[in-house]
Structure 1
Amino acid sequence: MGDSLYSFVIVDDEPEIREGIRDTIPWEELGFSFAGACANGFEALELAERIQIDAVMTDINMPFLDGLAFTHRLAALSPATKVLIISGYDDFEYARKAVQLQVYEYIVKPVTPKELRAVLEKLKATLDQERAERLNLEQIKKQLSESMPLMRERFLVRLAEGKQRPADIPERIAALGLDLPVRGAAYQCLILDFVCPREGEHFAIDLLTQRHVVEQFLEAGETGILFQDREDRPTLLIWNSDRAYLYREGLKIAETLCRSLQSLGLKDTILGVGEPVEDPEDLPVSYNSAADALTAAALRGMSGVSVYRELVGKTGFS
């Protein structure tokens, strides 16, 4: 049995019918694997609990649990299973109930092998189409999952640059699964850079070192989101409900990160500390002030923490 074959089960209380259908149909040729023949609905439900059944053909008139009652229970247990009901009654009421239960096919006895083969060919085409759609959806989900980090980075860059429509910000934060409050908090940007410009391999290695140190800091349980701006500078976005506390905490974080990087040999690291703001749409104010702090330090050839508020002589928290 190949993995591409669909499992098929027969449920009928008459052994000769079960065996006749089982033995007269070329299952694998039609794309199915014969997975079982059950004497009643209870046996079939027990089987469905053990294996995945892609399709089941059940008689409608059986003792203990008739075909319609079995179909109803099976739908709760295995909703994707296709059900073919075979009945000796060309009865509108039976057919109506079968439609309500979303039965795939209602077959009236007697049914010839040729007729049953045609039903199975149609069923195979339906199952193939559903499998293709499912695989396509899974591929889309996989691609989306793989691209999510890049999508988050792009959004955060646009947010920091003021290029994101304010009305769309809450929806985008939710859609991207960002753990970022959209109200009731203050926000602050910290940007990392170097006094001495890097090129090529040295730049890549030192940049990865900076990112790694910030990532380790966040993995230790600190609140924040790391992204890389358009100038490839690691940018840390932090937030807190108390603006004054956030500012003090931002200074502590900056000092901690700078010490860690300097201990790793990156002694010309600069970390610009921006002003806290009270709305996500105002994040460009914090980002630009952090960038200005970096520029001022670089012009002076000074490494370490550079605080925008100290550059402009602010003393309050407004």
Structure 2
Amino acid sequence: MLTILIVDDEEVIRKGLAKIINRSGAGFEVIGDVNNGLEALEFIKNRLPDVIITDIKMPGMDGIELIKQLETLHPSIKKIMISGFNEFNYVRDSMKLGALDYLLKPVDDVQLLTLLSKIEDSIKNENELRINDIRLKVKLNESLPFLKEQFIEELIKGKKFSRQDLASKLDYFNLQEETGNYYVIIVSINKYKVITREIGMEEARIKAYIIKNITEETIRISSSYVSYTDPLGLVIAISIPSGEEELIHKIVKGIGDNLQRYAAKIDCTIAIGSLSTDLLDLKSSYNHAVSALKRRFYRDKYAVIDYYAEAEFMHFNADFPAYLVDRFEDQLKNAFEISNAKQAESAIEDFCTILVKNNMDPGEVVNIFINAFIKIQSDISDFNRAVHELYGSDYFYINEIGIYDCLSDFKKYNLFIYSDVLKKMMSNRKRKEGKLVDIVKDYVTKHYNEDVTLSKIAEITYVNSSYICDLFKNQTGENFIEYLTKIRIEKAKLLLKDARFKTYEVGDKVGYSDATYFSRVFKKIVGISPTEYRNIVK
């Protein structure tokens, strides 16, 4: 059962959310509702929820600070923000601090329950994966290799060990400290997250295992090494004798050649960090390898990326000019407001070109696009509706956009998603506009004998009269007055066949109180006067 804590300073919202959740029949349980972040932290001391749903602005401790505290104290708790349309900046900050997702006020019942179901499935999957991993380790007697890899990761990432501790750990895991220098390299499968989604986690792990075997067998021929696997890929610290620094490039070339020969279908990037002279000082080499790997984002083709060879590009720009971001967001938003697909495409293409020129940090690029999406979603209701109609209420752009590790694929996805949504919005708007024209025609048919004006129609449709005028002309090919006159004259022609009505009475019955004006309009449309028409059809 998924347990939930609700945090909001408005009791009516807390009770309302609790009512929705508890009556859903989905097996969710609201275990408490509190007034602010301080009360939430106090509550959690006694009982830990699976999920916290929190408002942003609250007295005592707001939602942003609460999420920050939870990320430190209880990172396993899933965090959902609820916000109003005018709290966009706070939503962005909360997502950076660790909020899983957000919901806009007023909270939609279906979206809330769908998100909770998704979180429940995610937690179940995480637990199952954790249990399966443990069982696998026990079954294959992998406890020692696991601890060994954990130690290597700590060593490479810069955990502080004394010389004595290092010697003890090396002896325990049957490792030797080589004399000379070290390089940290990262061998990363390109599009690994995309591959995982397409073929499944198990098959993706098999590919990673193949890469690990080929790489380590290649290194083993000419050098000593230690390695571990993390989300970036296979991380390896390679021992290189002093004065033979060029050996690292020969080893990396050998790895690349063997990967091409034995695993050509698994595309990889190899990032080389800087030289380190001490096994206890591998962190800088590792960090430089990570920076080198980030350059993959701006590569059209994947290859070997050497930190030293591309040192001038290794300092990514995190302080991107705000006006450029604002302009991009405004151009993209405006494209959806005016249904201009070319403008949306140009906004994305041009902005990506600017990103490359400014060497923007890839992580910040993702954040900029997420913020732009959230802003459009918040400001344009038609956009949000189109997204849900196309991809379902469980679609979250935030989860989709982070799987791409190169700009070309990242841009391609954004061009696709925005184009797809805009087409849907235009289709929805066209259908809506068609209905509006039908409403106008129906009103004219029923009220042609009255003082019919666009202003009156605007009042009943809640649409601007100028917009109705332009829309009617575009949809029917004739303006509103022409259509109204046509309907009135057609009705007049029917009434003129009835001898009981005098000509001026016919005019009055179809909306013309001035008989002279009626005769003039009738003759203009029909070509003859009402009296002449009556004599002909009598």
TM-score, normalising length from structure 1?
0.47
- Give TM-score, length-normalised by structure 2: 0.29
